Amino acid sequence: MSILNLFAASEKPRQKDPRAFILPLGEPVTVTRTEDGFLHLKWQESAARIIVHVGTNPDDLTEMAPIVSVCETREAMVAGLDTAVRHYFRVEFRGGVWDGRSFMAAERILPLQKGINFRDVGGYYTSDGQMVRWGKLYRAGSISRLAEADLAYLQRIGIRLVSDLRSLHEQEKYPDRLPAVPGLVERPLPMESVDRWERLRGAYTIFLRKRKIDDYLLDGYTRVVLDGNARHVRDFFQQLADPALLPALIHCTAGKDRTGLLVALLLLILGVPEQAVLADYTMSNLFYDQFRNGISAELKQVAPWGVNMDDLQDLLLVKAKTLQGALAHLSQKYGSLENYLQNHAGVSNETITQLRQNWLVNL
């Protein structure tokens, strides 16, 4: 049997539902956009009265004004807001188990026309009850094809830093489209292997050992990113500790692996429980169809090997066990995430302290 037929002759993998890999977030309040442009707010507990406040600055509660008041329900619809502007909500509860409490919320997925996996990392709660600030860090896939309306939206947000985790080859082939923000800083942090046989090894894994694709992805997380590019991990944390560089955007090609790993490290060091971090990580599966479309051109190059899109599903899925494996690697090799950051990546205690001061808020 020829080498070209080895892959084609092997058993074809059974296709999986990408949404089945998404872990529940369990957020107290969520905001999603409906197809007709309404904002649908939902919360876990009802109350005698729920007052929804809206504003454009998540750090200024006094700027927020009441827009909806409802009773004995767990949802509300908001209409009439400018779709070109990002809005934040404070939901206040009177009566019920959440009496006297309020929660901040916003659309986690930004309503961009050409954005890939473009999300706000804020709104998660730490184990001690603090909240990660909304509107400080965004995560995404490629931004090389953003529409003009997307750029205008990001300009209003005021992105000050763009950290690009793609390889230098990817950056040169598909340069970023950036919003016209005065003083915007671009900081390439290429998460790539210095091993010139890396691509060949990856091709071997995909074409001839498809059952090992999960292991190959985990190896990329551990050997390439965590072990081999620790200096870029350090740079990432140092940048986010500088309030002058916020809001920031971190992205790679799909926004799921390199970006997903670094965002997970950030949330964990801030004190967000691992289950919530895993849920944020697996949310990338919502964009599975975009991932498929993104590799359609490259797929033509391997078609002679008998490879089709279904064969590559495990490369496109985002599985909690991959991130769990990377975190286990940190514990086994370095003792803990803190030890890794401080002793291997070179992130100082002062930087971690500054991160927590910049990013966490008590409501």
User: According to the model, what pLDDT value does residue 305 have?
Assistant: 64
For the chain, the first-to-last Cα distance in angstroms comes to 65
Count, in order, helices (H) and strands (E) of the chain.
14, 14
Measured distance CA(176)–CA(146) in Å, rounded: 9
User: According to the model, what pLDDT value does residue 213 have?
Assistant: 75
Which tokens in the block code for residue 336?
């803990």
How distant is the alpha carbon of residue 99 from its chain centre?
Answer: 32
Beta strand spans in 24-159 (E): 29-33, 39-43, 49-55, 65-70, 75-78, 88-94, 102-106, 119-120, 131-132, 137-140
Cβ-count burial 163-186 (b if 16+ within 10 Å, e if not)? bbbbbeebbeeeebbbbebeebee
Measured distance CA(176)–CA(93) in Å, rounded: 42
Which tokens in the block code for residue 64?
């927020």
Q: Which residue has the tokens 């908001």?
A: 78
Q: Does residue 58 have a cis bond before it (omega within 30 degrees)?
A: no
User: According to the model, what pLDDT value does residue 211 have?
Assistant: 53
237, burial (CB in 10 Å: exposed 0-12, middle 13-18, buried 19+): buried
Segment (H or E) for 205:
helix 198-208
278 and 25 Cβ atoms separated by less than 8 Å: no
User: According to the model, what pLDDT value does residue 313 have?
Assistant: 86
User: According to the model, what pLDDT value does residue 294 have?
Assistant: 84
Question: What pTM was estimated for this model as a whole?
Answer: 0.92
Q: Which domains can be identified in the chain, with CATH numbers?
A: 110-361 (3.90.190.10)
Q: What is the chain's pLDDT, residue by residue, as a tens digit (363 residues)? A: 333 444 444 455 678 999 999 999 999 999 999 999 899 999 999 999 999 999 999 999 889 999 999 999 999 999 999 999 999 999 999 999 999 999 999 999 999 999 999 999 999 999 999 999 999 999 999 999 999 999 999 999 999 999 999 999 999 999 999 999 999 999 999 997 544 334 444 554 555 455 577 887 888 899 889 999 999 999 999 999 999 999 999 999 999 999 999 999 999 999 999 999 999 999 999 999 999 888 876 666 666 666 677 777 888 899 999 999 999 999 999 999 999 999 999 999 999 999 999 999 997
DSSP letter string over 228-286? TTHHHHHHHHHHHT-GGG-SEEEE-SSSSSHHHHHHHHHHHHHT--HHHHHHHHHGGGG
User: According to the model, what pLDDT value does residue 200 have?
Assistant: 42
Nearest-CA neighbor of 93 among 78, 73, 79? 73
58 and 133 Cβ atoms separated by less than 8 Å: yes
Contacts of 107 (CB under 8 A, 6+ apart): 31, 32, 33, 39, 86, 87, 120
